[in-house]
A = this chain, B = another copy of it.
Amino acid sequence: MDMKTGESDGVDLGGRVKGLRSRAGLTIKEVAARSGISPSAISKIENNLLSPTYDNIIRLAQGLGIDISELFSATRKQAPHGRRSLTRVGQGDYIRTRAYTLEMLCSDLTAKRMQPMKARLRAHETREFGALVAHAGEEVVLVLKGRVTLLTEFYAPVTLDEGDSVYFDSTMGHALLSAGADDAEIFWVCAADQNLDFAETLPEST
């Protein structure tokens, strides 16, 4: 309970680190292993007993899996508070493209980080789909019904069964096909930098 090192500038580094760490669900020891900093040093940082050096700040951010700016900026952009949107089964907004029938979920909320959808994959052949799609962001897919083939630019095609899930960078060209005789169904979440108020880029273009 002596000097306080980190919060001399009015920024409570220790508290921020502690918050980021618990938010990531990590223990001090795990962060230590992932960052290469000793557990004792991390403990001292969190209690503002120690001001980490440049090198250790970089390592610490790596260990926490965050961007370095998180450890400095008081300039956090204010996220919307307390919104909630419910979509009952079958009650989303339907969009039909060449390869998919999309049901956009929770589309009454704008400026959200993620766009959830359900999709029925109607294409069964690569040529029905056309060129692979690529755009900024990342995607998660869960197979709800049927079997799904995921084509990507840098990987061999892979087939997913019901309950399987996949995560990929959508900067990489990609396409989803039904692998079975019937149309497949998936739950699909896209995240991009900007607010995606609408669907992601759809395969009808090009």
Contacts and interface: CB of A to CB of B under 8 A. Distances in A.
The interface size bin for chain A is 35 or more
Instruction: Give the number of copies in the complex.
Output: 2
Interface string A181-206: 00000010101111111111110010
Interface string A73-91: 1011101111111111110
A198 B25 contact: yes
Given A76-B67, A138-B114, A140-B116, A169 B83 contact: yes
Contact of A199 (B25, B58, B71, B150): B25
Given A25-B198, A66-B194, A189-B189, A168 B83 contact: yes
A53 B53 contact: yes
Given A86-B164, A89-B163, A163-B89, A136 B67 contact: no
A70 B194 contact: yes
